[in-house]
Amino acid sequence: MSEWSVAEPQKLTFDAPVGTVQVRIAGGTVNVVGVEEGPARLEVSDIEGPPLTVTQEGEVLTVGYEDLTWQGFTKLLDRSSWRRSAVVSLTVPADARVEVGAVGAGAVVSGIRGTTVVRGVTGDTALVGLSGPVQANTVSGNLEAQAVTGELRFASVSGDLTVIEGSGPSVRADSVSGSMIVDLDPDGPTDVHLTSVSGEIAIRLPHPADAEVEANTASGRISNAFEGLRVHGQWGAHKITGRLGAGTGRLRATTVSGAIALLRRPSAEDWQDTRPTDGPTDGPTDKKVL
């Protein structure tokens, strides 16, 4: 096993193969980028408080604090007198497994094909271009997932979920009060299951869509942009049910007091209709008159 102590800004290159990356920080930012070639690299551009411990044992690369374990990383919330922060950037093989634990820190993970696991407390997380399975758990931190093509699992107490151009085979999310905005652009059947107590849920489906739909709210408002779906209930509980297309995908959304909205993603023809045309217009031009 190799070990380093990082107490000031520093860069490290790891010549040995890296198959799993574990990062545990409190305060600051962690950025993990998957690349196709080259060794794994670490850059700590800013650090305050105790030093970071970096270890490589076999193919497992770990960056974190000695007193911050995977099982108890939230204990820092009970020690308000502790002050620590680090800005950590990692370049790792795209096929690596990535595990990030962040307390009061932001996290960005991009370009990873392996499994990604994120555990956050108050910091926000951004996932970009991930093709492997994703599991994200937060207390109050928000999650934004853009162009994620793998399975996505999200659980939070009050954190919000935003999915942009989601094309993975499944999205499952549970929250108590966090809102969920899910924009789907799947390549095939997608299984979507969203559950919240008081958070609002908005789902944008492609047109034409292909899914069996069931959306329920006990007391929230409901809106539906698809003529093929039925809206049940005038007062109190509302439900949207029906089949879009062949119904090969599944969409389930449930909230107690939050609103539910099913929105339609513009089709290719819709985009074509909105493109500007060549030729003169009635508006101002760039031509300058002297």
Question: Which residues, 6 or more positions from 56, have their beta carbon under 8 angstroms from its beta carbon?
Answer: 1, 2, 3, 14, 16, 18, 62
User: Cβ(171)–Cβ(192) under 8 Å?
Assistant: yes
39 neighbors 27 (Cβ within 8 angstroms): no
Render pLDDT for 90-104 as a digit per residue (tens, 0 to 9): 999 999 999 999 988
- With left for phi above 0 and alpha for psi between -120 and 50, is residue 247 left, alpha or beta? left
- State residue 188's pLDDT score: 84
Torsion of CA 6, 7, 9, 12, to 10 degrees: -10
Give the ranges where the chain is alpha helix by DSSP (H): 268-274
Of 179, 148, 182, the C-alpha closest to 257 is 179
- Bridge partners (DSSP) of residue 56 are 2, 61
What's the confidence (pLDDT) of residue 147?
A: 96
Asked whether the whole model's pTM tops 0.75, one would answer yes
Residue 208's pLDDT is what? 86
- Residues in the chain with pLDDT values less than 50: 78-81, 271, 274, 279-290
pLDDT of residue 70: 56
Return the pLDDT at 83.
Answer: 79
In the beta sheet, which residues pair with residue 59?
none
